[in-house]
Amino acid sequence: MSKFQTLKKSGQSEFDKLTEKLNELNTKFQKDERFWELSVDKAGNGYATIRFLPRLEEEPLPFVRFWDHGFKGVGGWYIELSRTTLKDPNTGEVQADPVTEYNALRWEEGQNSPGRDFVSGKQGKPGSKRRLHYISNIYVINDPVHPENNGKVFLFQYGKRIFDKLDGLMNPDFEDKKKVNPFDLWTGVTFTIRAKKVDGQRNYNDSEWGTQGPLADDETMEKIYNQQYPLLPFLDPKRFKTYEELDRKLRRVLGTISTSVPQTVEQAVASQPKVQPTKAAATPKTEEVPWSTDDDDADIAAFEALVNK
């Protein structure tokens, strides 16, 4: 039977496969209704008041932390979770990620090099550096744009700026300030998120803590507690692609690398356009290194000590 005849006979099965794939893609990009997002106007301004909720009994912390990458190359977009979120179950070491390794080598090209621009981003283009995210359960007190959200429990994804607000409340800079656990149902604090555009970026500097005290009566708080969503599934290793899968996608996105020929990260870097960097002093230890594991482990330890006391 010729390929054409096979194609003619397989019309319905091919259509079924196509429909299944389209449904899968549509499901993948549907909004997760469990998550709450701050609504902003055309100028990028918006506000709402929420309350962070405590950890569930079976989970160690009232938040989870993860990294991802989101950048565009000549071969399209690379938007994937970073395997540096995960730790080796035997050694406890952070797992390897091909983009992290690639970024480290590009960064070594030196200041004002194409490599550094690729990692950091330039002229409105997102760089390939890791992006840090947190997820917590929250209770919405006042959402002026969507009042139907008031009095409901949601998941809330946020970044380091808001995390720093939480950390600042639990670990204040001055000894005369009281340490407060914002995740506590009885002694927590309301949080008013205020967003505005500053230099084209969303800024949360005007956000502030408000009223401290019980969220509600005990009966109501128990109902709120029981409505929370588990957080640990977001760190399930099954959600993360393998190193090999990510490596193949990175090669495809970079475009200059053949996906049919095995190639090391070092060879990948060698195939990218470079300029000869001027010889400079060693990188200061205080300089932020985009592919590093960051210094957030100290923050995690502080949260564990305060939240689980």
CA neighbor of 36 nearest in space, from 24, 23, 61, 53: 53
33 within some domain: no
CA neighbor of 145 nearest in space, from 234, 37, 12: 37
Structure token pair of residue 208? 């502030």
Q: What is the DSSP letter of 44?
A: S
- Three-state secondary-structure class, residue 3: helix
Alpha helices in 61-205 (DSSP H): 98-107, 114-120, 160-170
Structure token pair of residue 65? 């932390």
Annotate 64-101 with b (16+ C-beta within 10 A) or e (fewer): bbbbbbebebebeebebbbbbbbeeeeeeebbebbbbb
283 within some domain: yes
Rounded to 5 degrees, φ, ψ at 54 are -75, 170
CA distance 112 to 280: 12
- pLDDT at res. 289: 40
CA distance 53 to 69: 28
Domain that includes residue 167, residue range: 46-307
CA distance 251 to 253: 6
User: Cα torsion for 195, 224, 218, 168, to the nearest 10°?
Assistant: -30
Q: Tell me, what CATH number does 204's domain have? A: 3.90.198.10
32 within some domain: no
CB 97 within 8 A of CB 83: yes
36 within some domain: no
168 within some domain: yes
- pLDDT at res. 22: 52
CB 180 within 8 A of CB 187: yes
The pTM assigned to this predicted structure is: 0.76
CA distance 309 to 305: 6
- Three-state secondary-structure class, residue 156: strand
25 within some domain: no
- pLDDT at res. 202: 87
Structural domain total, the chain: 1
Tokens 């803590």 identify what position? 209
- pLDDT at res. 48: 98
41 within some domain: no
Considering all CA atoms of the chain, what is the largest pairwise distance in Å, rounded to the nearest integer? Answer: 85
CA distance 119 to 307: 35
Alpha helices in 30-135 (DSSP H): 98-107, 114-120
CA distance 233 to 182: 23
From first to last of its 309 residues, the chain has per-residue pLDDT tens of: 665 566 556 666 666 655 555 554 444 445 789 999 999 999 999 999 999 999 999 999 999 999 999 998 889 999 999 999 999 888 989 999 999 999 999 999 888 888 888 898 876 678 899 999 999 999 999 999 999 999 999 999 999 999 999 999 999 988 888 899 999 999 999 999 999 988 878 899 999 999 999 999 999 999 999 999 999 999 999 999 999 999 999 999 998 654 444 444 455 555 554 333 333 323 333 334 444 333 344 344 444 444 444
Structure token pair of residue 277? 């960097």
CB 193 within 8 A of CB 38: yes
CA distance 25 to 213: 44
56 within some domain: yes
- pLDDT at res. 122: 76
